[in-house]
Amino acid sequence: GWRKRIEEIKGSDLDLPGGEMRPAGYVVMSFGVRDKRPVQAYDDWLNRIPSTYRRAVLDEDPANSPDVDHDPYRLAALKHYRSLMPMAMAAHKPMFSLKSADGARGAHLEAVRACYDDFLSLARRIADVIGFAVP
């Protein structure tokens, strides 16, 4: 895969990463959010993630894992944006790129703006974690 491509491109001016995989973190999605907090049914499951991530992904001792709200490995907590998904699929666009011509009007247009902000924050967080400078 990647290592073969690096060998094929050697000698070019491209600055390619070495291909070492390093987990950057995880994203949680909440199906019910009120006041920026997940409903209790999902909150119980969400709080299992930090210790499971440490044990299963990082191969670390999960004994002193923080809750999901204070876990530095949590990159973002995204809303479901369930009303935008069918529109995005029909328009062949990401949810955060929908326009009024795609059917995003009124409250849906506000949800598109919030979705854009959420994904922009996630992209910036990932860039920060992997040491990528964002202009």
At 53, which helix (H) or strand (E)? helix 49-56
Pairing of strands 26-30, 33-34: unpaired
pLDDT above 80 for 22: yes
Local confidence band at 1 (pLDDT 50, 70, 90 cut-offs): confident
Question: Each residue of 62-108: pLDDT tens digit?
Answer: 999 999 999 999 999 998 888 999 999 999 999 999 999 999 999 99
Q: For all residues of the chain together, what is the average pLDDT?
A: 88
What residues does each domain of the chain span?
Answer: 22-80, 81-130
Q: Where are the beta strands (DSSP E) in the chain?
A: 26-30, 33-34, 37-38, 74-79
pLDDT value at position 91? 97
- Mean pLDDT (whole number) for 18-42: 76
